[in-house]
Copies of this chain bind each other. A is one copy, B any other.
């Protein structure tokens, strides 16, 4: 497919937040639709506190308790505006729109490092930014139902936001993700994702960075390269095309979980080349559609999280851009809960062997233009045995 060109228009919402339209066609006059709502001033920035015992930042944002809770389509803040109903997006239609979250967990200028204070009470006020990305104006769509052109436009928007957010002062990590499904707490069903610019490394990213450094020191190799090479040689591949590969990881935490990597490692969205960009929509849509088909053709929309790793701001930037897609549904009508072992001790107990999950995700595949089911045979070894 051809690369999707993105035409960007920036306006300000009534309370000063940025709204950015990404259009596939030139010449849209997005400034013709100003935000005329009487909005309250934006809330004060939250704060982040460092847990001394686990060595992790936790963000406290008390004002978020008042955010919208399962609004109906007549009051959806992500639908286009009409003469009588003013949403967060003033235009009467749009393709992809990004705006600053009205109830952000992270916002405001970053605090200088010297004010953050010592253990056991390290605290930073402000810093970072939270954006919402509406994938379509169609309230009832899902990401998996979008066309490849639209996914190309979304990729262009993710790329733009990554560059723009890394350019803000104090931003350490740009985190692109999508929460889908009421079962994981999504309170707005309109198809959308989020983009967090963290003033700190999120805990999982901080650990990955440590692990990469240790592996490099011990082996002179990049750990992501070793992981991807081992998966390509093994039996948990779900799908692949010329530029992208998806597999169930060796130590999967979730009932169904797949990681999608570009074959050539890049640190973030801005470093993808044209071939990688062109091959992305087919692979990603294929993956999401497989998740939807896991529980039957008539199953309600699958709840899932898609979490994008991008290398943090600082050198060496050897984290590999990739997404981790997983669902909390373990069987029709049954969810995986994070209870005492996971939430209390971080110890994941997975009821489905990763090799079984990969076989299922292969079996529900279909041939699409952009990707093909991996030709490898399903594992003949018992599920308990890794390669």
Flag whether A211 is at the interface (Cβ < 8 A): yes
Q: Which residues of chain B are near A338, meaning CB under 8 Å?
A: 184-185, 338, 343
Which residues of A from 104 to 146 have beta carbons under 8 Å from B? Answer: 105, 119-121, 123, 125
Given A345-B204, A383-B62, A223 contacting B340 (CB threshold 8 A): no
| Cross-chain contact B208 with A53 (CB below 8 angstroms) | yes
> From DSSP, what is the main secondary structure of chain A's interface residues?
mixed
- The stretch from A4-12, A18-26, A84-92, A224-232 touching chain B is A224-232
Which interface class (under 10, 10 to 19, 20 to 34, 35 or more) fits A? 35 or more
Q: Please, what's the 1-or-0 string for A250-268, where 1 marks a CB less than 8 Å from any CB in chain B? A: 1111000000000000000
**Top-5 shortest CB links A-B:** A185-B337, A307-B344, A203-B346, A202-B345, A177-B340
A to B CB contacts below 8 Å, 23 in the list? A49-B386, A52-B223, A52-B250, A53-B223, A54-B204, A54-B207, A55-B210, A56-B251, A57-B251, A59-B350, A60-B352, A61-B349, A64-B351, A65-B352, A121-B250, A179-B340, A184-B343, A186-B339, A196-B341, A203-B345, A204-B347, A305-B339, A326-B343
Binding site for B on A (CB under 8 A): 44, 46-47, 49-62, 64-65, 69, 105, 119-121, 123, 125, 175, 177-179, 184-186, 194, 196, 198, 202-205, 207-208, 210-211, 215, 223-224, 226-227, 230, 249-253, 305-307, 324, 326, 330-331, 334-341, 343-354, 356, 383-384, 386-387
